[in-house]
């Protein structure tokens, strides 16, 4: 249906008449009179043609004014209601950017990459599938930062996740502060499903709040936490003296991560390679959505440019009609 955004602007229609009534009339210009001895020499048909020539620009001007007022009223075409896919879940993703995430113990395709690159690769696809969820992003290292507040714009979340860099938030790991920040951002949301997915490869080595204390606070605010411990169990290091096996995940505090998940009703996952990490996100992808009232929106298409274009066209025609072409040809 047609809808006018500013319908009261129709009151501007009589404005030209008001201006004509308020402004003083133009003074009559005295011209030399030409006496013609025989009036019958001037035919009536020519007089009629002259009168019509004076009237049609006025008609075009009135039509142009009507179209201009119509454009100013901002006509819009409102389409049929379209149902939005809204699950009602608020999901926050917390990603560790500490220095230990630079360990290259993951494979993406045939290329060996660091843990953060593997996380970006898998988490981006997970976020892309979160249709109907509001997704936010927390980055933490020595400090925890809210990179993206809760939003339906999943493309922006993916972009800012991929733009994150190692050491951006410091070299240490503040797991408790990351959980505390998530609680702060989610506790006032009117929803029955608040989820935090926390991914780290180490232990809590920084921050003001201990992870278990933060987990208790999260449980009190009905925030469910899924923790993911990332990192391979063994890695071959080659050096001048030969090759040796090391455990790159020796600093991973699995006990604390399991306790955090248990306190909040979530689960702990272990991701030793890209395949396991991808499977974890597939499991998380199957979380049951919350029942919520359906939401609708009506697409709006602007139509003001059509009457505005007609106004400009008529104004151009009137302007061209007032040009004295004979004087231009003489020049």
DSSP annotation string for 46-73: HHHHHHHHHHHHHHHHHHHHHHHHHHHT
Do residues 235 and 135 both lie within one domain? yes
Look up the domain containing 246 and give its range: 85-284
Do residues 190 and 324 both lie within one domain? no
**What percent of the residues of the chain are helix, what percent strand, and what percent coil, each to the nearest 5?**
40, 20, 35
Do residues 218 and 308 both lie within one domain? no
Mean pLDDT of 30-52: 50
Mean pLDDT of 118-137: 86
Specify the DSSP element, H or E, that contains 45: helix 44-72
| pLDDT in the model for residue 37 | 52
Report the percent of the chain where pLDDT is more than 90.
Answer: 30
Helix axes 115-128, 154-162, angle to 10 degrees: 170
Which residues lie across from 53 on neighbouring strands?
none
Lowest average pLDDT, out of 129-143, 195-209, 275-289, goes to 275-289
Does residue 294 belong to any structural domain of this protein? no
Strand residue runs (E) in 56-209:
75-78, 82-84, 90-96, 106-108, 111-113, 134-140, 144-151, 194-200
Q: Indicate if the pLDDT at residue 94 is higher than 70.
A: yes
Predicted confidence band of residue 52 (pLDDT cuts 50, 70, 90): low
CATH number of the domain enclosing 205: 3.40.50.410
Do residues 242 and 136 both lie within one domain? yes
Predicted confidence band of residue 201 (pLDDT cuts 50, 70, 90): confident
Distances (CA, A) of 246 to 13, 236, 238: 83, 6, 11
Do residues 157 and 264 both lie within one domain? yes
Give me the number of domains the chain comprises.
Answer: 2
Q: Indicate if the pLDDT at residue 113 is higher than 50.
A: yes
Calpha distance 185→33 (Å, rounded): 87
Classified as helix, coil or strand, 292 is coil
Calpha distance 69→261 (Å, rounded): 63
Does residue 129 belong to any structural domain of this protein? yes
For the chain, what is the mean pLDDT?
Answer: 80
Does residue 248 belong to any structural domain of this protein? yes
Contacts of 290 (CB under 8 A, 6+ apart): 87, 88, 89, 191, 192, 193
Do residues 278 and 307 both lie within one domain? no
CA 93, distance to chain mean position in Å, is 18
């Amino acid at each position: 249906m047609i809808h006018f955004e500013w319908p009261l602007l129709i009151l501007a229609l009589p404005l030209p008449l008001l201006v004509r009534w308020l402004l003083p009339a133009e003074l009559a210009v005295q011209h030399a009179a030409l006496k013609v001895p025989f009036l019958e020499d001037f035919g009536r048909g020519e007089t009629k043609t002259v009168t019509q020539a004076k009237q049609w620009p006025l008609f075009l001007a009135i039509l142009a004014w009507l179209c201009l007022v119509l454009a100013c009223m901002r006509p819009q075409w409102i389409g049929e209601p379209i149902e939005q896919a809204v699950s009602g879940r608020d999901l926050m993703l917390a990603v560790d950017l500490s220095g230990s995430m630079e360990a290259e113990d993951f494979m993406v395709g045939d290329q060996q990459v660091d843990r953060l690159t593997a996380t970006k690769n898998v988490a981006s696809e997970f976020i892309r599938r979160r249709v109907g969820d509001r997704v936010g992003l927390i980055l933490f290292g020595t400090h925890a930062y809210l990179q993206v507040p809760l939003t339906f714009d999943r493309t922006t979340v993916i972009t800012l996740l991929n733009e994150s860099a190692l050491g951006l938030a410091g070299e240490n790991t503040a797991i408790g502060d990351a959980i505390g920040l998530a609680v702060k951002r989610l506790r006032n949301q009117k929803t029955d499903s608040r989820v935090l997915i926390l991914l780290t490869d180490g232990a809590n080595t920084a921050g003001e709040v201990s992870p278990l204390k933060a987990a208790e606070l999260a449980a009190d605010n009905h925030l469910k936490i899924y923790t993911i411990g990332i990192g391979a169990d063994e890695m071959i290091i080659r050096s001048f003296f030969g090759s040796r096996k090391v455990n790159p995940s020796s600093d991973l505090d699995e006990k604390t991560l399991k306790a955090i998940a248990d306190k909040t009703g979530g689960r702990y996952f272990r991701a030793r390679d890209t395949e396991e990490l991808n499977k974890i996100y597939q499991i998380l992808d199957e979380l049951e959505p919350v029942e919520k009232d359906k939401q609708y929106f009506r697409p709006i298409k602007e139509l003001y440019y059509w009457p505005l274009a007609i106004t400009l066209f008529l104004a151009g025609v009137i302007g061209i009609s007032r040009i004295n072409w004979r004087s231009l040809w003489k020049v």
